[in-house]
Amino acid sequence: MDNNVPTGHAPDPPNKAIPDEPGSRRAAYYVGISWLDLAVSLGILVIVGAVVIWVAIRVIQPAPPSTLTISAGPEYSRFWFAAQKYKQILARNGVTLRVLTSSGTLENLERLADPAVHVDLGFVQSGLTSIASVVSPDTRHAGLMSLGSVSNWPLFVFYRGPELTRLSELKGKRLAIGREGSGTRQIVLLLLRANGVEPESNAQMLPLVGEDAVNALLAGEVDVAFLTADSARPELMEKMIRTPDIRLLNFTQAKAYVRSFPFLSQFEVPMGAFDLANNLPPNSTTTIETTVELIARDTLHPALSDLIVEAAGEVHGGASLLQTAGEFPAPVAHDFPLSPDAARYYKSGKSFLYRTMPFWLASLVDRLLVLVVPIVVVLIPALRFVPPLYAWRVKSRFYRRYGELIALERSVLDDPSEQNYVEFTEKLNAIEKGLNKLQMPIAYADHFYALREHISYVRSQIAALRRGDDSRA
């Protein structure tokens, strides 16, 4: 039997191929590592990990900003004072709130809709987007969202003279409808036009508000005063209720207003609300109301959204003549969609992290989880694929040489000429030389010796073929 013919498998390496002196066994294992294959295998994992982390960072919001800006209202108005309370509450959590004064709802809305103006929040009276002449289409689609309604905004109409039951009866009268730029003025104009009362046509509209409007009504300078929650202070309301010839309009068509204008709802002034002892007003009076919403840009950080809605509960959640305790803030939105983050907060409250940790620490942990989760879920299981990938890279070197060996052997069998034989010998020697220089782990020694044995087998087979050809010649 020819000793060059393989038995079908490579012989096991001798037991004492690796010296047993101290340190030599470790050197034998590490000198044979294919660092290139290991680098490629780990490099693929690093690239996958970098992509996963990049996607996680892109998907998640960055760190919440430490400064916000709110457009409130005129100085010392109801919502200017509310904004000051927001400022104190946010400061407790390390967030600075800049409070800007404004002429009212319209300016707040314009600031929010203009990207060049760095305003994050604003108080906006609902219903304005239904007035095309006031709010442009660009404003309606400016990427704004509602954090919910923070207050109701009832409309009180005081008038002098005989009893009236409809706004259409105000034709020919002098009306104090609020200052320019206020949301109340625009809503009142909308309702008056719906009743055929037009400015400078069949009625005189005066930009008086609050105490100025009340004094003008008491002095007989106007016939009607439109007041809202901001301007209808309890002392002014009581003053007018006590004046014999001044009445509070009872909206007998309140249901029709609510059906015609979805942003409106009914509001009832209870009997005796302003003076229980003298029962003023002497009868329950129905009026209509809008709501005031806290509007934000849709880029508002989710963590800050929770913080702001929580602050709104502290500022607006108390009981008063106009609302019951806990009625506001509420997930009620009219002109702009309710923020998903606000909707989640109204449904389930703050997340576990923000309930149990200070705001700054919860924000930090929340962002760190964005990096930890992909590492745990994706990268750690991916480590299992590194050894098989490394093994495939090492074995592929042997497979490639086997392919070269098969092709080389078949080329000689097809053309056993002297020239082809010389080329065969040179290429076979090159394969064997390259194999001897191959760096590999000891675990793959069986592949190494098997390939060497097969190289010897092919060499002997071709040599035997040539000897046969020479003898026949």
pLDDT band at 460 (very low <50, low <70, confident <90, very high): confident
| Domain chopping of the chain, boundaries | 67-350
Enclosing H/E stretch for 406? helix 386-414
How does residue 255 score in pLDDT terms, banded at 50, 70 and 90?
A: very high
pLDDT of residue 27: 39
Residue 17 or residue 197, greater confidence: 197
Q: How confident is the model at residue 10 (pLDDT cuts 50, 70, 90)?
A: very low
How far apart CA 188 and CA 170 sit, in angstroms, is 12
Stronger pLDDT, 471 or 450, i.e. the higher one: 450
Own/partner contacts of 458-467, CB < 8 Å, gap of 24 or more, are 458/405, 458/408, 458/409, 458/428, 459/428, 460/2, 460/4, 460/5, 461/409, 462/409, 462/412, 462/421, 462/424, 465/412, 465/413, 465/416, 466/416, 466/421
Q: Write down the pLDDT at residue 367.
A: 61
State pLDDT tens for residues 19-48.
444 444 443 333 455 666 667 666 776 777
Collapsed DSSP state (helix, strand, coil) of residue 26 = helix
Is the pLDDT at 16 greater than 50, yes or no?
no
Between 174-188, 241-255, 375-389, 447-461, the lowest mean confidence (pLDDT) is in 375-389
Domain 67-350 fold is: D-Maltodextrin-Binding Protein; domain 2 (3.40.190)
pLDDT band at 204 (very low <50, low <70, confident <90, very high): very high
Distances (CA, A) of 9 to 6, 17, 428, 449: 7, 19, 21, 10
Least confident span in 18-27, 348-357, 392-401: 18-27
Q: What is the mean pLDDT of residues 285-310?
A: 91
Q: How far is Cα 210 from Cα 214, in angstroms, rounded to an integer?
A: 6
With a cut of 70, say whether residue 364 has pLDDT above it: no
Give CA–CA dist 237/156, Å, rounded: 9
Q: Supply the pLDDT for residue 67.
A: 94
Number of residues that this document lists for the chain: 473
**Cα 135 to Cα 16, 119, 128, distances in angstroms:** 90, 18, 7
CA distances from 353 to 61, 236, 447 (A): 16, 47, 55
- This prediction's pTM: 0.65
Alpha-carbon gap, residue 266 to 268, rounded angstroms: 7
By CB atoms closer than 10 A (0-12, 13-18, 19+), residue 297 is middle
Do 221 and 208 contact (CB within 8 A), yes or no? no
The pLDDT > 70 percentage for the chain reads 79
Place of tokens 């929580």: 310
Mean pLDDT in residue range 155-176: 93
Mean pLDDT to the nearest integer, 421-449: 81
Helix (H) or strand (E) holding 359: helix 359-374
What value does the mean pLDDT of the chain take?
Answer: 81
Q: How confident is the model at residue 184 (pLDDT cuts 50, 70, 90)?
A: confident
Q: How many CB atoms lie within 10 A of CB 257?
A: 18
Q: Tell me what pLDDT residue 31 has.
A: 41
Least-confidence region, from 239-253, 267-281, 338-352, 433-447:
433-447
Residue 361 confidence (pLDDT) above 60: yes
Q: What is the pLDDT of residue 133?
A: 60
